C-alpha cells in the first residue's frame, strides 16, 4: 500500500528502528527491493534520485514505482531523492510520489530555508512529506569512488542550525551530515554520534542518514539508538547485483541471455537489501 513518509517514520519511531530508503534505478532494483520488504514484512521507502536521470528517466520508472507501491502488501513510500529544482519536485508529486527531498544543501542557509518552505507548501497540497538537508554529504548517488581524501571532507551539520532550520521550514525529516558520504568509502567511516544526539535533542525530528553503504552494523545500531529513522542505501545493493552478474557470466559456457542477467542481478540486490533491512529493523 502506498503511504506517505510521515506515516512510515511514525512506524519507525514507534518501533525504535530505521526504515531503509533504497534508491532504484532499474526495474530489477525496484522488484528486488519490494520483494525483500514483503518477505520480511517491513515497511520500505523506494526512492528515485534526480541524478539517476542519466540511467533512466523518472517519467519511465516513476509511474511503475507508484503502481507497484499501491499493489504491495507492505506500506511503501515513494520518495524523490535529492531533488534539486522545484519543477522536478512538482513533476514527482504529479506522478503520485508521496514524499520529496528538496536538496538545497549547496545553497546558503537563508536560500535553503526559502526554497524548502516552497517545497513544503507544494507537498502539502498533495498530502506528501518533505525531507531537506543541511550540511554536506559529498559525492553523488553513483557509487563511484571519488578523489583521494574526498571522503573525509564532508561538512558536518551544525545542531543549532538544524534546530532553526526545522522550526522555520516544518519539514518531516532532516538529512544530516555526521561522517557518512555517498558511494564507496576509501577508508572505514568514522561517525560523530554526538552530532546525531545533539540534533535530535534540539530539533526533535527524524534524522536521515545518507550514504548507508559501507557503514558497519554496530554503527548503524548506534545511529538508530540516537535518532536516525531513515537510512538511504544504494551503492552496495547495486554493486552486489553487478558482482553477481560478473561471477555468473564467468561460469557460463552457454550463451547468456539478457533476461538471465536481469534475474541474477535482481536476486543479488534483493539479498543485499534484505541483509540491510534486518540490521535497520533490529531483526
Shortest Cβ 115–ligand 13P spacing (Å): 18
When asked if residue 99 is in the footprint of ligand 13P (CB under 6 A), the reply is: no
Asked if 135 is part of the footprint of ligand 13P (rule: CB under 6 A), the reply reads: no
Using CB atoms within 10 A of its CB, is residue 49 exposed (0-12), middle (13-18) or buried (19+)? buried
**Whole-number Cα distances in Å, 73 to 2, 7, 56, 91, 139:** 10, 16, 26, 26, 34
Label residue 95 exposed, middle or buried (CB < 10 Å: 0-12, 13-18, 19+).
Answer: middle
CA dist 241 and 33 (Å) reads 12
Number of Cβ within 10 Å of residue 46's Cβ equals 26
Taking CB under 6 A as the binding criterion, the range among 6-14, 68-76, 194-202, 207-215 that sits at the site for ligand 13P is 207-215
Q: Which of 225, 137, 216 is nearest to 179 (CA)?
A: 137
Beta carbon of residue 200, minimum distance to ligand 13P (angstroms, whole number): 19
Question: Which residue in 43, 62, 83, 183 binds ligand 13P (CB under 6 A)?
Answer: 183
Site string for ligand 13P, 66-85 (x = CB under 6 A): ---------------xx---
CB 192 within 8 A of CB 156: yes
Q: Which of 59, 81, 108, 272 is catalytic?
A: 81
With binding defined as CB under 6 A, does residue 143 bind ligand 13P?
Answer: yes
Q: Is 219 a catalytic residue?
A: no
| Per-residue mark of binding to ligand 13P, 7-26 (x: CB under 6 A) | ----------------x---
Q: Is 182 in the site for ligand 13P (CB under 6 A)?
A: yes
Q: Any contact of residue 212 with ligand 13P (CB under 6 A)?
A: yes
User: Under rule CB under 6 A, how many of the chain's residues touch ligand 13P?
Assistant: 16
Nearest approach, Cβ of 186 to ligand 13P (angstroms)? 12
User: Quick check: 178 binds ligand 13P (CB under 6 A)?
Assistant: no
CB neighbour burial string for 201-216, b if at least 16 within 10 angstroms, e if fewer: ebbebbbbbbbbbbbe
Is 241 in contact with 7 (CB distance < 8 Å)? no
Return the C-alpha cell found at 117: 518552505
Between CA 164 and CA 116 the distance in angstroms is 13
CB of 101 to ligand 13P, least distance (A): 8
We find the least distance from the C-beta atom of residue 73 to ligand 13P, in angstroms, to be 25
Q: Which residues bind ligand 13P (CB under 6 A)?
A: 23, 49, 81-82, 141, 143, 182-183, 210-213, 232-235
Catalytic machinery residues: 81
Amino acid at each position: 500500500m502506498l503511504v506517505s513518509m510521515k506515516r512510515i517514520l511514525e512506524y519507525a519511531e514507534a518501533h525504535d528502528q530505521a526504515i531503509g530508503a533504497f534508491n532504484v534505478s532499474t526495474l530489477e532494483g525496484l522488484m528486488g527491493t519490494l520483494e525483500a520488504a514483503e518477505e520480511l514484512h517491513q515497511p520500505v521507502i523506494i526512492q528515485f534520485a534526480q541524478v539517476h536521470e542519466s540511467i533512466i528517466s523518472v517519467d519511465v520508472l516513476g509511474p511503475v514505482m507508484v503502481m507497484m507501491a499501491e499493489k504491495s502488501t507492505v506500506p511503501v513510500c515513494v520518495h524523490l531523492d535529492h531533488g534539486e529544482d522545484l519543477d522536478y519536485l512538482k513533476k514527482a508529486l504529479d506522478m503520485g510520489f508521496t514524499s520529496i527531498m528538496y536538496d538545497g544543501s549547496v545553497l546558503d542557509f537563508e536560500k535553503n530555508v526559502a526554497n524548502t518552505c516552497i517545497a513544503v507548501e507544494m507537498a502539502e497540497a498533495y498530502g506528501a512529506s518533505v525531507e531537506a538537508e543541511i550540511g554536506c554529504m559529498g559525492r553523488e548517488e553513483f557509487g563511484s569512488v571519488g578523489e583521494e581524501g574526498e571522503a573525509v571532507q564532508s561538512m558536518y551539520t551544525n545542531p543549532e542550525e538544524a534546530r532553526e532550520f526545522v522550526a522555520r521550514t516544518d519539514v518531516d525529516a532532516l538529512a544530516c551530515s555526521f561522517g557518512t558520504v555517498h558511494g564507496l568509502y576509501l577508508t572505514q567511516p568514522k561517525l560523530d554520534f554526538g552530532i546525531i544526539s545533539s540534533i535530535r535533542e534540539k530539533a526533535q525530528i527524524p534524522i536521515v542518514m545518507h550514504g548507508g553503504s559501507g557503514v558497519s552494523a554496530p554503527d548503524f545500531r548506534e545511529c538508530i539508538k540516537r535518532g536516525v529513522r531513515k537510512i538511504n542505501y544504494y551503492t552496495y545493493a547495486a554493486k552486489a547485483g553487478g558482482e553477481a552478474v560478473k561471477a555468473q557470466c564467468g561460469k557460463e559456457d552457454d550463451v547468456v541471455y539478457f533476461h538471465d542477467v536481469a534475474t541474477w542481478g535482481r536476486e543479488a540486490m534483493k539479498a543485499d537489501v534484505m541483509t540491510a533491512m534486518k540490521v535497520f529493523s533490529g531483526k
